[in-house]
Structure 1
Amino acid sequence: MAVLCRPAVWVPETTISMEETLALARRLHPGHEKLPLVLRMIKNTGVVKRHLVQPLAETLAHPGFEARNRTYVREARLRVPEVVERALASAGVMARDIDAIVFVSCTGFTMPPLSSWMINELGFRPDTRQVPIAQLGCAAGGAAINRAHDFCLAYQDANVLIVACEFCSLCYQPDDLDVGSLLSDGLFGDAIAAAVMRGQGGEGMQMVANASHLVPDTQDWIAYEVKATGFHFRLDSRVPGTMNVLAPALHTLAGAYGWDASKLDFYIIHAGGPRILDDLCRYLRVEPAAFRHSRATLTQYGNIASAVVLDALRRQFDEGLSEGARGLLAGFGPGITAESSLGTWSCAEPVPIGHQAHSSDGHIANVTHTLHP
């Protein structure tokens, strides 16, 4: 069975604290009629610190969408290789052992995708499949894991690299003054995360099942308006209230395998904000401590979009689990979409992939030719 191995996570050196964020909001928007509400909402996020890919002065400037996208590409190419290298090492594989790359990001755009650059520059085989996902926002972390699992179900000896690259600060729009935008300015942070899903062997979350669920008629609740100045984030005030709809979908997924979603051993949940975590705790009927790793990511890094679930999983690795522990992973984002998965914990040390039978060109034998049911 496929195993999601230990993620590697990188955050930039530049940081902004909660106090600095609040002071900045007061300085930039002194006459805003809803400033007290915005300040209160930012305080309630509990985000102590966020990381920014550029110095604050450059983050606040807006040189135009073209310049910002150049920054996105430059920083991604500079930072992704080291994160990928650490993820590969943790999984006991090398670049030539990877059969597919799922690359997710919603904060910049390239065509061809950055996975093409990775194949050219980082030692991946030319026949490596590419699965770029650009429009699922925060849900893309869960979607990447689920699509990697699907690939390993089809090709049972395959290895899939997942990369989430999110520079949310590059989406800052100084002229967007609605409450949702101002809240977002104090919530989102930057990060890159990567992890390998091994079709066979490895330590981590051994995948059991995955599912997607879309809440009808909510497609405008989390969205981008694409303008000459770039991506303008739109957040509807009704978003936090969607957990009462999504929680039953998580119960249904667990129940299909005879599991009780309220009585699992670990939970890796997208930390979109504190209310989402609080509401989901209530609807799943679990203690707040069950989401401690997601809360830690939110507190220390802010909402890092698709990278959240991978960072929360990294924290679960640090804490450790016993063999066979049952858990749930879920990411939420535009749509409104939930991407969720079930897994049991495997404590097996990853056997280096070189110990498995390979064909002469480095493939795991049968990956490219045999489709398993």
Structure 2
Amino acid sequence: MPAHIGRPVINLGAHRVDTDALIEHIRTTYSDPDEHPRMGVWERIIRNAGVTQRYWTRPLAEATATTGVARRAETAFGDALDLAETAARRALDDAGLDPGDIDGIITSHTTSWTVPNLDVHLVERLGLRPTVARMPLTTLACAGGAHALVRALYFAQARPGARILVVVAETLSTIYHQAETTPQSMIYRALFGDSAGAVIVTGVTDENADGLGPGLLADDPFELVLPGSRDRYWGTIDDDGLHFESTRAAARAAADSLPYLTDWIGNRAVEWVVAHPGGPRIIDDVVAGVGLDPEKHGRHSHASLAENGNLGGAAVLDVLRRMHDDPPVSGDPGVLAAFGPGFNLAAIYGCWA
């Protein structure tokens, strides 16, 4: 039986940082004569990211201050947990569920280190049953949302009728470090926003099938670690905090993964796609790769990227939320796909209910 994925809730950081303000901050920070000639290159990189604004949990000046790894990690996790709790409560309310109705919780969170992780904290904060099944995902970053939905699908197939709460939170502003001036660091500070996303996934049964409402009926998951790709995109940590690193080959990684994705899809029809908004090229490569028009079928992903930035693991949930507001034809099949460090891919095939 398939699993029903409802309408996600997205909770953004409280502080809007538009691209003009970000560029002006960088221009002011790097006013040294030896650095200033690079400003034109940096500005082009930032504007080409496709992001008009992003939302951070802290004001621009505070988020970019040098504080050290301990303070950064503590702040990042605290903010992510607050975002996650609010998103999860709204998802429960929207679905008309009480915390005790949840059979499993699957979380994804990468941007700070803590033990216990998001799952344990949310069990207590939300008042979930102490015996609720838990599955914390902690190092998946941008692929976290799709991987969490894959795990929720497996859970629902094993326990028909189960209700699973998926929660993804990332405070990606924590990777902004003033001392970094590489092109990659400029791309990441332009792309990333802070958020949490939450959604209810329900195992479909004959008894509940008519009452679940619109959404994605997911029935086939797919996962890939792209061979020989660990040099594409990865994370590091030092005294300043968490960093994301990449090579030029990272720009081709999504496209290099597409033959595996299309082989998995096979002869099945694809009428829509929820493509991870990791950047304009990733969106267009994925949409075109599954045989659709990037301008038409990538519009929700491009809008999410422009208005919120790349939200990491929560990004596909934001795109799926937008699809709920502008849905495909009932019964149309399609694919949800996201990419992350490693280089890895997670995807789900299903139809729109």
Fold-level match, TM-score > 0.5? yes
Which residue number in structure 2 is paired with residue 254 of structure 1? 265
Which residue number in structure 1 is paired with residue 229 of structure 2? 218
2:7 partner letter? R
2: CA distance, partners of 1:177 / 1:243: 25
How far 1:303 sits from its partner (Å)?
A: 0.7
Q: For residues 215-260 of structure 1, what are the alpha-carbon distances to aligned partners after superposition, in whole Å with 9 as ceiling and x for unaligned?
A: 11111321111112221210222112123322222212221xx413
1:22 partnered with 2:23: yes
2: CA distance, partners of 1:121 / 1:41: 40
Q: Decide whether the 8 Å contact of 2:13 with 2:83 is kept in 1.
A: no
More off after superposition, 213-222 vs 32-41: 32-41
Q: Secondary structure at the match of 1:216?
A: coil
Q: Secondary structure at the match of 1:303?
A: coil
1: CA distance, partners of 2:334 / 2:93: 24
Q: Secondary structure at the match of 1:111?
A: coil
Q: Decide whether the 8 Å contact of 2:84 with 2:168 is kept in 1.
A: no
How far 1:119 sits from its partner (Å)?
A: 1.2
How far 1:24 sits from its partner (Å)?
A: 2.1
Which residue number in structure 2 is paired with residue 368 of structure 1? none
1:306 partner letter? G
Q: Secondary structure at the match of 1:186?
A: helix
Which residue number in structure 2 is paired with residue 351 of structure 1? none
Q: For residues 36-92 of structure 1, what are the alpha-carbon distances to aligned partners after superposition, in whole Å with 9 as ceiling and x for unaligned?
A: 332212111121101010011101112121112221233234332221111122333
How far 1:152 sits from its partner (Å)?
A: 1.0
2:142 partner letter? C
Cα RMSD (Å)? 1.6
Q: Decide whether the 8 Å contact of 2:19 with 2:52 is kept in 1.
A: yes
Unaligned ranges ≥5, structure 1: 347-373
Q: Secondary structure at the match of 1:293?
A: helix
2: CA distance, partners of 1:303 / 1:295: 10
For residue 351 of structure 2, the aligned residue among 338, 341, 344 is 344
For residue 315 of structure 2, the aligned residue among 292, 297, 308 is 308
How far 1:114 sits from its partner (Å)?
A: 1.9
1:331 partner letter? A
Which residue number in structure 2 is paired with residue 98 of structure 1? 102
1:235 partnered with 2:249: no
Which residue number in structure 1 is paired with residue 135 of structure 2? 131
1: CA distance, partners of 2:336 / 2:143: 11
How far 1:93 sits from its partner (Å)?
A: 2.4
1: CA distance, partners of 2:83 / 2:283: 30
Q: Decide whether the 8 Å contact of 1:34 with 1:179 is kept in 2.
A: no
Q: Decide whether the 8 Å contact of 2:107 with 2:167 is kept in 1.
A: yes
Q: Decide whether the 8 Å contact of 1:5 with 1:195 is kept in 2.
A: yes
Report how many aligned residue pairs link the two structures: 341
Structure 1 stretches of 4+ with a deviation exceeding 6 A read none
More off after superposition, 203-212 vs 223-232: 223-232
2: CA distance, partners of 1:278 / 1:29: 33
2: CA distance, partners of 1:281 / 1:343: 16
2: CA distance, partners of 1:4 / 1:71: 31
More off after superposition, 297-306 vs 80-89: 80-89
Unaligned ranges ≥5, structure 2: none
Q: Decide whether the 8 Å contact of 1:187 with 1:302 is kept in 2.
A: yes
Which residue number in structure 2 is paired with residue 294 of structure 1? 301
1:224 partner letter? G
1: CA distance, partners of 2:81 / 2:50: 31
How far 1:34 sits from its partner (Å)?
A: 4.1
For 1:34-73, list aligned pairs within 5 A.
34-73=38-77
Are residues 285 and 121 of structure 1, via their aligned partners in 2, closer, same or farther at CA, if it must alter by over 3 Å?
closer
Q: Secondary structure at the match of 2:113?
A: coil
The percentage of aligned residue pairs carrying the same residue is 30
Q: Secondary structure at the match of 1:45?
A: coil
How far 1:11 sits from its partner (Å)?
A: 0.7
2: CA distance, partners of 1:99 / 1:55: 37
Q: Decide whether the 8 Å contact of 2:7 with 2:321 is kept in 1.
A: yes
1:279 partner letter? D
For 1:141-290, list aligned pairs within 5 A.
141-200=145-204, 201=209, 202-203=212-213, 204-255=215-266, 258-260=267-269, 264-288=270-294, 289-290=296-297
2: CA distance, partners of 1:77 / 1:166: 9
